[in-house]
Amino acid sequence: MNQKIYFNGEIVPREEALVDIEDRGYQFADGVYEVIAVYQGKPFKLMEHLERLAFSAAELEISCPGINQLQHETESYLASLNQTEEDISIYIQLTRGACPRTHAYPDDLDPVLIMKAGSLELRPDEYYQNGVKIITRPDERWSKCYIKSIALLPNVMAKKAAKRARAYEAVMHRDGFVTEGSSSNLFLVEGDSLLTPPASNYILNGITRQTVIQEIGPKLSLEVREQSISLDRLFRAEEVFLTGTTTEIMPVVRIDEREVGQGRVGELTGRILTAYRELTRA
Ligand code: PDD
C-alpha cells in the first residue's frame, strides 16, 4: 500500500509526517475523523463524509477548511495515489493542533489535517454469506455520540469484548434501548419494514445508515421507520443487520446466545446487501 500521507496541505512520505507530541489529539483525543471507502478510484459519498467532518469540527469549535477546499484536498490526494484498480479507504483526521498541555483550548491553534490511505478491509465473504454473531453491552459513552470524535475508548473496549466473545460487533444499549454498534449502526426487520434507532445525540448518524434509509429502502419499496428499539424487540427481530463504511451491510444471525430468526441470513438483508454492492460498485 502506498505510504504517501497528506499532511497539512502537502503530500509527504510517511516518515516525514511528524506530529508534535503536544498535539491535542494525542493528549486529549481532541479531534475528529472520517473513514471513506474508495471503490476503484471513486470515493463513495465523499461530500457527505466531508460535510460530517466539518459538522463534527464545528461542534467542537475546531477550525476546519471549507467543504470545497476539503474536497479539493481529498481528490488531489486520491489522484496522487493513482489507485484505481484496488478498493481502498481514506482515513481523514483533524485535530485541534499543538500547544502546552492545558484543558481549556486556546482559540488560535493551527489545526492538523492528515489523510492516510489504507486497504479497504472489507470482511471475509463468508461473513456476508453466513452472517455473524454480535454481543450486547451497556453503552458507556458520553452524550455527544453524533460527533465523530477520535475519543473512542468505550468503542475500543466494546469491540475488544466482542472479539473475545468471537463475535463481530458489540451493540450497545442505554436505558434498555439499543443505540448502535461500536463502529456500525443497527437495523432490524419486522415484516416488510426496516427499523433503526432514530438519529439522536446517542448515535453517530452513519452515512451507510442514511444510504439505506434514503436510497435502498425506497428502491426496494421497504418502509423504513426510525424508532427506539428495546433490547427485547431486538431479540425478537426476524432479521438484523449492521451498516458502516467498512462493514457495508452485515447480516447478524446470533445475538449473545440467541439465534436471530432461523439463524440464517435473512431474505431482505440479502437484498439490501446486493443493492448496496450495486450502488457502491456502480
Ligand atoms: N466507523 N457508528 C459508529 C460509532 C461508527 O464509528 C461508525 C463508523 C458508524 C457507521 O458510520 P458510516 O456508515 O458513516 O461509516 C456508526 C468508522 C468506519 C470507523 O471508525 O472505522
- Same domain for 174 and 65: no
- Same domain for 171 and 92: no
Summarize the confidence of residues 150-166 as an average pLDDT: 98
Residue finishing a domain among 87, 102, 119 = 119
Q: How far apart are the C-alpha atoms of 50 and 71, rounded to whole Å?
A: 7
- Same domain for 232 and 187: yes
- Same domain for 157 and 255: yes
**Is the pLDDT confidence value at 123 over 90?**
no
Q: Give the three-class secondary structure for 252.
A: strand
- Same domain for 153 and 254: yes
**Is the pLDDT confidence value at 139 over 70?**
yes
Mutate to test the pocket of ligand 1, among 34, 35, 45, 171 (most ligand atoms within 8 A of CB): 35
pLDDT for the residue 202: 98
pLDDT-derived band of residue 121, with 50, 70 and 90 as boundaries? confident
Q: CB–CB of 35/89 below 8 Å? A: yes
Q: Which of 273, 271, 253 minimizes the C-alpha distance to 263?
A: 253
Measure the CA dihedral 49/209/119/153, to 10°: 80
Query: How many domains, in total, are found in the chain?
Result: 2
- Same domain for 112 and 177: no
Å from CA of 245 to ligand 1 middle:
6
- Same domain for 135 and 40: no
Residue finishing a domain among 92, 119, 146 = 119
- Same domain for 70 and 34: yes
**Is the pLDDT confidence value at 141 over 80?**
yes
* 212 pocket-lining for ligand 1 (C-beta < 6 Å): no
Q: With b meaning 16 or more CB within 10 Å and e meaning fewer, what string describes 92-127?
A: bbbbbbbbeeeeebeeebebbbbbbbeebeeeeeeb
pLDDT digits (tens, 9 = 90+) for 62-96: 999 999 999 999 999 999 999 888 999 999 999 99
Å from CA of 100 to ligand 1 middle:
31
**Is the pLDDT confidence value at 1 over 80?**
no
Q: Which residue has the cell 469491540?
A: 159
Read off the CATH number of the domain in which 67 is found: 3.30.470.10
Q: How far apart are the C-alpha atoms of 275 and 282, rounded to whole Å?
A: 10
pLDDT digits (tens, 9 = 90+) for 170-200: 999 999 999 999 999 999 999 999 999 999 9
pLDDT for the residue 260: 97
Summarize the confidence of residues 244-258 as an average pLDDT: 97
Q: Which residue has the cell 443493492?
A: 275
Residue finishing a domain among 119, 147, 177 = 119
Q: Give the three-class secondary structure for 114.
A: strand
Among 116, 133, 148, 159, the active-site one is 148
**Is the pLDDT confidence value at 132 over 80?**
yes
pLDDT for the residue 261: 92
- Same domain for 88 and 50: yes
pLDDT for the residue 83: 86
Mutate to test the pocket of ligand 1, among 184, 248, 250 (most ligand atoms within 8 A of CB): 184
pLDDT digits (tens, 9 = 90+) for 94-120: 999 999 999 999 999 999 999 999 999
- Same domain for 74 and 145: no
Joined grid coordinates for residue 115: 489523510
Å from CA of 184 to ligand 1 middle:
5
- Same domain for 97 and 22: yes
Read off the CATH number of the domain in which 222 is found: 3.20.10.10
Joined grid coordinates for residue 208: 451507510
Which structural domain range is residue 30 located in? 4-119
pLDDT digits (tens, 9 = 90+) for 26-39: 999 999 999 999 99
Q: Which of 62, 117, 73 minimizes the C-alpha distance to 95?
A: 62
**Is the pLDDT confidence value at 2 over 60?**
no
Q: Which residue has the cell 427499523?
A: 195
pLDDT for the residue 282: 77
pLDDT digits (tens, 9 = 90+) for 47-63: 999 999 999 999 999 99
Global pTM?
0.97
Q: How far apart are the C-alpha atoms of 188 and 92, rounded to whole Å?
A: 30
- Same domain for 107 and 42: yes
pLDDT digits (tens, 9 = 90+) for 206-241: 999 999 999 999 999 999 999 999 999 999 999 999
Q: Where are the alpha helices (DSSP H) in 97-152?
A: 125-130
